Amino acid sequence: MLEQLGAASIESLFDSIPEDLRLRRDLNVPAAISEIELLNAFDEMGTRNQAARRISFLGGGAYSHYVPTIVDHLISRSEFFTAYTPYQPEISQGTLQSIFEFQTLVCQLTGMDIANASMYDGSTAMAEAVLMAERVTRRSKVVASAAIHPQYLEVAHTYVQHAGIELQHAQFDSNTGQTLVDSIDDQTAAIVVQSPNFLGCIEDVEALAEKAHAKGALLIVAITEAMSLGLLRSPGASGADIVVAEGQSFGVPLSYGGPYVGLFAIREKYARQIPGRLVGEAYDKQGRRGFVLTLATREQHIRREKATSNICTNEGLIALAATIYLETMGRRGVQEAARQCAQKAHYAARAIAKVAGYSLPFSGPFFNEFVVRAPSPAAPLLDTLAREKGIDGGIALSRFDANRPNDFLVCVTETNSRAQIGALVEGLADISKAS
């Protein structure tokens, strides 16, 4: 090939790089290793993640749910996972139709009119929702509940810090665990709440929507446990204007925090302000139905600095996993999984509350996560529980709030058996007794 190109050497292909910029040594990277060595190395590192093997009651934005076997099988098909963004619709209909189904499912679950083809994750989706509210209302104040996932709030703060948006926090009721919004004014672009919130409590979305709308503001609802949509009233039915969610609960492995998939749904009237890709129906000359990327003029590759977002690559394959999950579980499966989550969580909560010294500090209704107040600092207690009983019993809230030393967040899903719940309750009792 070189000869045909009239090139003297491989080296000469890089002549346009000035001599003194070329790396005159090998990269300080190990020499290639074989498949056997590689798998051994990763297996060994994997075994040092003891937490991956424990009975787990961890939630807080990432959830252990049952995943039907066919989800991974189907997303592993070459035609899906080695394709790219469907720029050429004639040879991308598989991807495009799947996204159209994804958008439909997100609308059905959230009760909204329009959903996009996905965002990076729930946290960035919420930040983009805040930016969108500013574009829609041309107002600059946003009131966000303090009961939103702390990491989501941090991401929102990063995103809006240069956008001229003032992010205020609304406190939550220390008895109910539900958000209190007392004062918003005609400069408020949006109220942002998470429901169920980070403390597990279900917010009164309808009342908050009324409050927001009375001042011409939008209500943004964020959801980290999307499975709750199988049981709880949809944010759309409760009056939300923008709904964002983490879709990890729908067939996506925990994978130490990603890749997950952000859901983003809105009212139809805001269609031209939505960030991200959209797929729409289209027809060819013979009248055959197909699907295309549409309303692209909102996006960065056309509108550049005036785009609704800088997002380009989204989470296609993970959105596909969520689509396959939702279609396999279907209407009744999502309802059943959600029912089991709620029933098991309430069973666990009742049992823990009966253990001497333990209580549930918040009275607000919950779905499958709840805060437990331990008789002693939660962090060391949970460490001991993990080490001695092999159970990850929850997330110590002192990680996020030093004023909550004894509180921890427990999550129960359909994957936790009665026996596991029993072991958790017993373990907590044993450790508290011993100390």
Tell which positions 116-145 bind other proteins, by CB under 8 A.
117-118, 120-124, 131
**How long, in residues, is the chain?**
435
Mapped onto helix, strand or coil, the DSSP state of residue 298 is helix
Alpha carbon distances (Å) from 431 to 294, 374, 383: 58, 11, 11
Q: Do 95 and 83 form a contact (C-beta atoms < 8 A)?
A: yes
* Cα separation, 57 vs 349, whole angstroms: 12
Q: Which is nearer to other proteins, 86 or 358 (CB)?
A: 86
Binding string, residues 247-286; x marks residues near other proteins by CB under 8 A: ------xxxxxxx-----------xx----xxxxxxxxxx
Which amino acid would we find at residue 403? N
Shortest CB 420 distance to other proteins, Å: 10
Nearest residue (CB) to other proteins, 188 versus 323: 323
Interface residue with other proteins among 231, 353, 360, 429 (CB under 8 A) is 231
Nearer to other proteins by Cβ, of 183 and 417: the residue is 417
Least distance from other proteins to the Cβ atom of residue 82, Å = 4
Please, which residues have CB within 8 angstroms of residue 397's CB and are 6 or more apart in sequence? Answer: 371, 378, 404, 407, 408, 409
CB 169, min distance to other proteins, A: 15
Residue 347 binding other proteins, by CB under 8 A? yes
Interface positions, 373-392, toward other proteins (CB under 8 A): 383, 386, 392
Nearer CB in complex with other proteins: 138/288: 288
Asked whether the beta carbons of 369 and 346 are under 8 A apart, the reply is no
Beta strands at 289-293 and 395-396: parallel, antiparallel or unpaired: unpaired
Q: Which amino acid is at 196?
A: P
Q: In the complex with other proteins, which residue's Cβ is closer, 185 or 397? A: 397
Cα 166 to Cα 189: distance, rounded to the nearest angstrom: 10
Number of residues that bind other proteins (CB under 8 A): 196
Which structure tokens are listed for 329? Answer: 């579980």
CB of 280 vs other proteins, minimal distance in Å:
5
Two tokens, residue 80: 């899906």
Collect all residues with Cβ–Cβ distance below 8 Å to 276 and sequence separation of at least 6. Answer: 116, 117, 118, 119, 128, 264, 299, 309, 311, 314
Min dist CB 413 to other proteins, Å, is 11
AA identity, residue 93: Q
Site for other proteins in 32-91 (CB under 8 A): 32-33, 35, 38-39, 41-54, 56, 58, 60-62, 64, 66, 68, 70, 72-91
Among 8, 40, 154, 171, indicate the residue that binds other proteins (CB under 8 A): 154
Please give the residues from 168 up to 197 whose contact with other proteins meets the rule CB under 8 A: none
291-320 footprint of other proteins as x/- string (CB under 8 A): xx-xxxx-xxxxxxxxx-xxxxxxxxxx-x
Residue 192: both structure tokens together:
């942002």
The residue from 331, 363, 433, 435 that contacts other proteins (CB under 8 A) is 331
Cβ closest to other proteins, residue 183 vs residue 199: 199
Whether 237 and 221 have beta carbons less than 8 Å apart is answered as no
